[in-house]
């Protein structure tokens, strides 16, 4: 069947790839299939449920390349789970007693959409695959072609998700300013909390990127401006256990010798312990529509700082989060190249009627292809056996720690 109309949507949290992904898809369609009509649903599945879309006019197509300079999403995002009927009804997205999938399907049919491009994480793309199956059961042929967006880099079977490299560089840039706060007080502990619910990849990559920035600095030891003061002294990820007592002993020595301690913490590293503590205290655990614990509400960085501060005798503590700064940036040159390459395959897959999540398939030599939706899942752990991560821990004199069995 010849494709006549395509729809785009971006969903979930932001990542430094959304604007570039929209730009690349529009540019590629204009290049290889200019006759195809394109619309974009505003604010993800929220716009699809409400029928709120933007027609992609020739004027928009002509300016598509300008989107590479912007962070965020030019068509808006939202966190909507089509199978969470109660949440969709409560938010006024669908009438009581209706199935959000049916509402979304009816809108796609009414709009005459042949291909739906979803730019998001595992929840976004598996929801799209479920919608496609639902439509197929009702004799409507819809191709769903997704692009993998998550700064956590934790989608199966994608080797490198879009925007993650940029987020690591931006997180490093954020901390390169924050670290100067150690000069505001003696014996200071700074905790840099980095996004990453299940995966420590972003935390580790941010630490590596930050240390590369340190390599470019000419130090002035006469003023106490040395690498030791600004270096990373600990990296904690969800995949490895943190021995608080042993680490407190090690970091206490660092504090005595250097005068300050800098910790890079993945937000998911302490979630299980914090949730367990909250449950034992009878506190309510905040969750989002997908059932995920709202990490921004439980503050892992604060929890870790409260554990470590008295143990290492820190006089002042500062917890800073780089997540919103990092995820809202425009894609860097390396990410733009990956986004472009994925968009080319995504458009080709759409025109050929092949559904799937387009990215580097780690099970097939990282070739960029439409990975089958049944293989797509979130929560892919960071491989702590990678040489670059082990080198990082060796360079900062941190023991590796035991793997966390839950991951």
Helix (H) or strand (E) holding 258: helix 244-258
Give SS3 for 148. Answer: strand
Asked if residues 201 and 269 have their Cβ atoms less than 8 Å apart, the reply is no
Task: Record the tokens describing residue 46, joined without a space.
Answer: 């929220």
Task: Record the tokens describing residue 384, joined without a space.
Answer: 């702590």
Alpha helices in 83-226 (DSSP H): 85-90, 100-111, 122-137, 164-178, 201-215
Asked if residues 312 and 251 have their Cβ atoms less than 8 Å apart, the reply is yes
Asked if residues 345 and 369 have their Cβ atoms less than 8 Å apart, the reply is yes
Helix (H) or strand (E) holding 235: strand 234-236
Asked if residues 341 and 17 have their Cβ atoms less than 8 Å apart, the reply is no
Q: Note if 154 is an active site residue.
A: no
Look-up of token digits 């130090």: 219
- Gap between the Cα atoms of 193 and 182, Å rounded: 16
- Gap between the Cα atoms of 332 and 337, Å rounded: 9
Asked if residues 105 and 140 have their Cβ atoms less than 8 Å apart, the reply is yes
Q: Name the active-site residue from 152, 154, 335, 361.
A: 152
- Gap between the Cα atoms of 327 and 130, Å rounded: 27
The conformation of residue 234, written as its DSSP 8-state character, comes to: E
Strands 260-266 and 188-194: parallel
| β-pair partners for 193 | 265, 321
- Gap between the Cα atoms of 382 and 17, Å rounded: 21
Task: Record the tokens describing residue 40, joined without a space.
Answer: 């974009």
Active-site annotation, residues = 152
């Amino acid at each position: 069947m010849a494709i006549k109309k395509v729809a785009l949507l971006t969903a979930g949290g932001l990542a430094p790839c959304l604007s570039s992904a929209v730009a690349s898809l529009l540019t590629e369609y204009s290049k290889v299939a200019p006759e195809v009509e394109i619309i974009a649903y505003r604010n993800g599945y929220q716009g699809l449920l409400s029928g709120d879309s933007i027609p992609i006019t020739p004027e928009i197509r002509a300016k598509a390349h300008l989107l590479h300079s912007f962070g965020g999403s030019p068509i808006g995002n939202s966190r909507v789970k089509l199978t969470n009927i109660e949440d969709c009804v409560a938010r006024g997205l669908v009438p009581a007693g209706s199935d959000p999938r049916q509402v979304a399907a009816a809108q796609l049919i009414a709009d005459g959409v042949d291909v739906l491009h979803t730019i998001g994480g595992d929840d976004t793309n598996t929801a799209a695959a479920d919608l496609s199956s639902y439509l197929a059961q009702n004799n409507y042929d819809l191709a769903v072609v997704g692009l993998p967006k998550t700064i956590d880099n934790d989608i199966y079977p994608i080797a490198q998700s879009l925007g993650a490299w940029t987020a690591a560089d931006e997180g490093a840039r954020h901390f390169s300013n924050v670290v100067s706060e150690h000069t505001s007080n003696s014996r200071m502990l700074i905790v840099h909390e980095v996004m990453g619910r299940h995966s420590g990849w972003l935390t580790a990559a941010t630490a590596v990127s930050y240390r590369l920035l340190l390599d470019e600095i000419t130090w002035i030891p006469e003023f106490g401006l040395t690498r030791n003061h600004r270096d990373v002294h600990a990296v904690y990820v969800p995949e490895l256990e943190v021995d608080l007592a042993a680490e407190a002993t090690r970091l206490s020595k660092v504090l005595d010798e250097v005068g300050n301690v800098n910790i890079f913490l993945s937000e998911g590293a302490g979630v299980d312990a914090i949730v367990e503590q909250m449950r034992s205290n009878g506190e309510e655990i905040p969750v989002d529509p997908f059932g995920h614990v709202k990490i921004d509400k439980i503050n892992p960085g604060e929890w870790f700082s409260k554990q470590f501060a008295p143990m290492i005798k820190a006089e002042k503590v500062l917890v800073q989060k780089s997540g919103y700064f990092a995820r809202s940036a425009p894609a860097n040159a390396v990410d733009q190249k990956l986004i472009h390459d994925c968009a080319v395959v995504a458009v080709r897959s759409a025109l050929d009627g092949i559904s799937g999540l387009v990215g580097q398939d780690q099970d097939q030599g990282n070739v960029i292809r439409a990975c089958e939706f049944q293989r797509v899942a979130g929560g892919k752990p960071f491989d702590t056996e990678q040489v670059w991560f082990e080198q990082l821990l060796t360079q900062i004199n941190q023991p590796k720690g035991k793997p966390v069995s839950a991951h």
